[in-house]
């Protein structure tokens, strides 16, 4: 799978952990920054991830920040992106199964490191259930 990943300074440490794990799991990962814990404006790094997923350059995207809230908001402003704010394994599973989330947002300050990779793995491995959810998602994504 082709996956884009980006964070602000507050999500930088988790971004590195996820990026390295995704590559270890065999995915093609592009890191779109930031490259340090020096304070930055998060939309600068989050919007390019969302736009790249919406264009089809990547299959999925991962965005990170302190809480993940702002990152999810920025990503969801891009047509064709369905970004789920994920703070638990169950949130990741439901984001895929019910919402066909093609991007996830994770808050480094709110998600325990012990479940970080389980969240990402669950999101990657959970299929979209379709059904009644699919029709509504198609309406949202329609031009």
Residues 92-131: tens digit of each pLDDT: 999 999 999 999 999 999 999 999 999 999 999 999 998 6
Q: Is pLDDT of 134 > 80? A: no
Q: Right CATH number for 2-141 from 3.40.1400.10, 1.10.390.10, 3.40.50.2300, 2.60.40.1250?
A: 3.40.1400.10
For the entire predicted model, the pTM comes to: 0.92
- 61-96 pLDDT tens trace: 999 999 999 999 999 999 999 999 999 999 999 999
Q: Is 135 left (phi over 0), alpha (psi -120 to 50) or beta?
A: alpha
Whether the CB-CB separation of 84 and 120 falls below 8 Å is answered with no
Q: Is the pLDDT of residue 140 over 80?
A: no
Task: Tell me the domain boundaries of the chain.
Answer: 2-141
- Position 130 scores a pLDDT of 80
Please give the Cα distance from 116 to 140 (Å, whole number): 29
Run of H or E including 65: strand 60-65
Catalytic positions are: 71, 98
Q: What is the pLDDT of residue 105?
A: 98
Quick check: helix, strand or coil at residue 140?
helix
């Amino acid at each position: 799978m082709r996956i884009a990943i980006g964070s602000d300074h507050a999500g930088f440490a988790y971004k590195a952990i996820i990026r390295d794990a995704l590559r270890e799991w065999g995915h093609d990962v592009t890191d779109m920054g930031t490259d340090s814990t020096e304070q930055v404006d998060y939309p600068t790094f989050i919007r390019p991830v969302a736009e790249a997923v919406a264009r089809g350059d990547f299959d999925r995207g991962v965005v990170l920040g302190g809480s993940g809230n702002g990152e999810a908001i920025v990503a969801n402003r891009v047509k064709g992106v369905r970004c789920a704010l994920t703070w638990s394994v169950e949130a990741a599973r439901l984001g895929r199964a019910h919402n066909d989330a093609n991007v996830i947002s994770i808050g480094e300050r709110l998600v325990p490191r012990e479940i970080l990779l389980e969240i990402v793995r669950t999101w990657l491995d959970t299929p979209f259930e379709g059904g009644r959810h699919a029709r509504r998602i198609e309406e949202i994504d329609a031009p």
